Amino acid sequence: MSGAQLLACILAVPMLGAIGVALTRHRPNLREGVSIAAGIVLFLLVATLAATISWDAAPTLVLAEPVQGLALALTPEPLGMLFALVASFLWPITTLYALGYMRAHHEQNQTRFYVAFAVSIGAAMGIALAGNMLTLFVFYEILSVATYPLVTHAGTDKARRAGRLYLGLLMGTSIGFLLLAMVWTWQLTGTLDFTPGGVFGDKVGSGMLSVLLVLYVFGTGKAAIMPFHRWLPAAMVAPTPVSALLHAVAVVKAGVFTILKVAVYIFGIDTIAGLAAADWLLALAGFTILMASIIALRKDNLKARLAYSTISQLSYIVLGAMLGVVAGAVGGGLHIAMHAFGKITLFFCAGAIMVTAHKTRVSQLNGIGRRMPWTMGAFAVGAVSMIGAPPAAGFISKWYLVLGSLDAQQLFAVAVIVISTVLNAAYFMPIIYAAFFKPEDPAQDQDAHGGGHADHGEAPWPILLALVTTALFAVLLFFFPGAPLALVQRMVAL
């Protein structure tokens, strides 16, 4: 298959998967089979593309030309390839997990769930492989709309309010700021292609560039940078597989990925370095990292704590992008992959605890590690990766981020990373300690069902298989970071 055909298939497979799921809606086993099969095929396609691609002559797939001179086109580049690999790899695993979770949790409307899920992944692929800003924006919006039914899956008043916040913030910022920034860029330069070194050249003054950068960063609401972060904790009302894949990997990463792409390919790293707004946004990212960590510290609801942890981790990537040095962009790019494996593991564990033990709060987890050793073991691995300690993947990206901060002589950024590491440890370590070393507290063992679940054991096997796999990768990537590192370094070398 040629590169362009591969690209077409990568876009088509999730959509075909969605149709397949809809057609097999009366036979749940077949339906989930279709879903997983689509995921595996998709990953194989993406992997083939990554293996065979030649970066000097990257294939391009032109879908249409909605604006004269501006095509809807897919062109892979290294960072996008990395994002696509991570998202497509985690999709079948999450589907496996969802299979266990949705059934154990007796969720309604599972067909709608799997259809929307597949469409969301398709949109994430479009974002990852977009050849220009317009294409990215189109898929960005499709992703917002496609995830809405997932966020509001429960159909309760709480879900409705969450959905309102979700769509309001994501669409409000993207239409209000991102679209404006994009049209403005197009008007100024006549191109929206992702160009190594940036598109502006010397044509545009630095004041204007600063305004544009701020518009781009705030317009990307999916990056959950403060003060546009509220949608992410709200979205935790969704079923856990959604929180895991979409709100730890696909959606939020689509946001920071957009910012990183804009920084590297629209502005250019060197341009960023000279912009006053970059310093300002750096400070905002640092503030978001610390603030979100502090809030996470105070959250008793496990998913909420993870959500704020995500907000904080996302801003690492924004911070890396705003440093304006190569190592910063490398660290940011790596963190997209590294954070993904750790955070999805953590969410898987939270979901496993919820369906098995019916516990959602941190304070209920005393002694649970003895009943669910695999789950909590994986949780520990994920937490270590979040903190950024060896031997977990998070260490690698944090290393590059610190390097970048030193390179850019941003002692502020170094300080932020160090303090936040301490904070990360402060909100994860007590959970692990309580789970393994504190005695069980029978009084806590009550839930909405009215009865205790004192006799529960481990989670169902699909759930376990999924979370052990992702935890394993979170460790493996520490020892073998070669492939993602090569891709990211390729990005800055272009």
Partner 1 sequence: MTLLDHLPVLVVLLPLFAAPLCVLIDRARPAWLLSLIASLLSLAAAITLLMQVSSSGAIRYQLGGWAAPWGIEYRIDLLGAYVLLIVSAIAPLVMVFALRSVEKEIPRQRIARFYAAMLLVFAGLAGITVTGDAFNLFVFLEISSLASYAVISMGSDRRALNAAFQYLVMGTIGATFILIGIGFLYMMTGTLNMIDLAERLPAVSETRTVRAGFAFLTVGIGLKLALFPLHLWLPNAYAYAPSAVTAFLAATATKVAVYALLRFLLEIFGVQFSLQAMPLDLILMVLGLAGIVSASLVAVFQQNVKRMLAYSSVAQIGYMMLGIGLASTTGVTAAILHVFNHALMKGALFLALGAVAYRIGSVTLRDFAGLGRRMPWTMAAIVIGGLSLIGVPPTVGFVSKWYLVLGTLEQGLWPVALLILLGSLLALIYVWRLVEAAYFGQPPSDAATLQEAPLSMLIPVWILVGANIYFGVYTEVSVGVASRAAIQLMGIEG
Residues that bind partner 1 (CB under 8 A): 63-68, 72, 137-138, 141-142, 145, 152, 155, 157, 159-160, 163-164, 167-168, 171-172, 175-176, 179-180, 183-184, 186-187
In angstroms, give the least distance from the CB of 211 to partner 1: 9
Cβ proximity to partner 1, 67 vs 486, nearer residue:
67
Cβ proximity to partner 1, 152 vs 385, nearer residue:
152
Q: Return the C-alpha torsion angle 410, 411, 414, 419, nearest 10.
A: -140
Cβ proximity to partner 1, 212 vs 431, nearer residue:
212
270-280 core/surface letters (b: 16 or more CB in 10 A; e: else): ebbbebebbbe
In angstroms, give the least distance from the CB of 52 to partner 1: 28
* Spatial distance between the Cα atoms of 299 and 265, rounded to a whole number of angstroms: 38
In angstroms, give the least distance from the CB of 450 to partner 1: 25
Residue 291 tokens, joined:
């603030």
Q: Report the Cα 222 to chain-centroid distance in Å.
A: 9
- Using DSSP, state whether 65 is helix, strand or coil: strand
Cβ proximity to partner 1, 179 vs 472, nearer residue:
179
Give, as one character, the DSSP assignment of residue 414.
Answer: H
R_g over Cα of the chain: 21
Give Cα separations from 121 to 39, 63, 124, 233, 380 (angstroms).
Answer: 9, 18, 5, 21, 28
Q: Return the C-alpha torsion angle 247, 444, 371, 468, nearest 10.
A: 10
Cβ proximity to partner 1, 47 vs 180, nearer residue:
180
Cβ proximity to partner 1, 23 vs 183, nearer residue:
183
In angstroms, give the least distance from the CB of 183 to partner 1: 5
In angstroms, give the least distance from the CB of 355 to partner 1: 25
Q: Are 400 and 472 in contact (CB under 8 A)?
A: no
Cβ proximity to partner 1, 173 vs 420, nearer residue:
173
Those residues with Cβ within 8 angstroms of residue 68's Cβ, 6 or more apart along the chain or in another chain: none
In angstroms, give the least distance from the CB of 326 to partner 1: 32
In angstroms, give the least distance from the CB of 213 to partner 1: 15
Residue of 191, 483, 465 whose CA lies nearest to 338: 483
Type and span of the H or E element at 325: none
Q: Are 478 and 109 in contact (CB under 8 A)?
A: no
In angstroms, give the least distance from the CB of 13 to partner 1: 19
- Using DSSP, state whether 143 is helix, strand or coil: helix
Q: Report the Cα 279 to chain-centroid distance in Å.
A: 24
Cβ proximity to partner 1, 104 vs 180, nearer residue:
180
* Spatial distance between the Cα atoms of 273 and 260, rounded to a whole number of angstroms: 14
In angstroms, give the least distance from the CB of 150 to partner 1: 13
Cβ proximity to partner 1, 45 vs 130, nearer residue:
130
Cβ proximity to partner 1, 25 vs 456, nearer residue:
25
* Spatial distance between the Cα atoms of 310 and 487, rounded to a whole number of angstroms: 23
In angstroms, give the least distance from the CB of 246 to partner 1: 18
Beta-strand runs (E) in 165-212: none
CA–CA–CA angle 150, 461, 102 (5° rounding): 20
